[in-house]
Amino acid sequence: MIEHPVTIHGYPFKPCLYQLPDGKLSYIDTGNGPTVVMLHGNPSWSYYYRNLANLLKESHRVIVPDHLGCGLSDKPQNYSYRLKDHIDNLEKLLTHLQVKKCSLVVHDWGGAIGMGYAVRHPESIQSLVILNTAAFRSPHIPLRIKLCRTPLLGPLLIRGFNAFAGAAVHMAVTKKMQKEVAGAFLLPYNSWRNRIATLRFVQDIPLSANDPSWQTLKEIEQGLHLFRNNPMLIAWGGKDFCFNDHFYQEWQTRFPQAHCHYFADAGHYVLEDAFERIGPIVDEFLTKNMS
């Protein structure tokens, strides 16, 4: 586990710890009111939601876990890091926190993890906020990510040279990150050992029926219809090299009732590029659709 420094730029939270069978899970639990659960992707961590959590905590209970292997959570070296594992961990955490009803905010891998939890507990989901993510199968994968799945080369690039997290602070945004912000994004991924989950997430992308998490994602996809009547907000960065307009259009097709906001000038880390515009929209949406 990364020890929490005295200060992390822009991250005023004191994380809590929950003991899982394979390690400690770090999570933010702040504010009071209807519960919002925010789920990050790879290679970010709860830091990605710092501004949104600060905004929403005034009127909501905000829970933001660091997936096992990510952020300030433990990083076990012999853990499988499959999609099902992350869903199981989220389920255990929310049961521990006695969360009966919640809204989900999901980004990147957080989409599959969050919707995996939602499909297991559809009655507990009030509303959904979708940020540059997927929870359905797709053959689309950028070459730069495909290279990181290559045996031998992938571990060398991701764990040796930090090519995934290191590149993301430049390639996942359209506005240059402040040095302190980029440093905070990279803080948990400062060694070969601490980059284990960054690699395992890439290796676990389900691209064919031969991939271990294909069936898990298929079952999630088949359960998405359960949320056709749930309030949904889609806030999308139009310059995402990974989750491009194909994914945005797929969400719109599956959920024609969704309130859609397209930010043509924002990248994959859409909350970094367009938070000033997105934050108030999310706040208003959640306040309107939670009780």
Q: pLDDT tens digits, residue range 222-261?
A: 999 999 999 999 999 999 999 999 999 999 999 999 999 9
**Residue 209 contacts by C-beta under 8 Å, 6 or more apart in sequence?**
215
Q: pLDDT tens digits, residue range 42-93?
A: 999 999 999 999 999 999 999 999 999 999 999 999 999 999 999 999 999 9
**Residue 169 contacts by C-beta under 8 Å, 6 or more apart in sequence?**
177, 181, 182, 185, 186
Residues forming a β-bridge with 37: 63, 104
Q: Is the pTM of this model over 0.85?
A: yes
Closest CA to 4 of 41, 47, 56: 47
Residue that wins the pLDDT comparison between 43 and 148: 43
Q: Was domain 16-289 assigned CATH 3.30.460.10? A: no
The answer to whether the CB of 173 falls within 8 A of the CB of 267 is: yes
- Per-residue pLDDT averaged across 262-270, rounded? 98
Closest CA to 130 of 28, 228, 234: 234
User: What pLDDT was estimated at residue 5?
Assistant: 56
The answer to whether the CB of 87 falls within 8 A of the CB of 117 is: yes
Cβ count near 249 (within 10 Å): 11
**For 1-5, 162-166, 264-268, 271-275, which range has the lowest pLDDT when averaged over its residues?**
1-5
Residue by residue, DSSP assigns 93-151 as HHHHTT--SEEEEEEEHHHHHHHHHHHH-GGGEEEEEEEEE-SS------HHHHHHTST
Residue 281 has pLDDT above 80, yes or no: yes
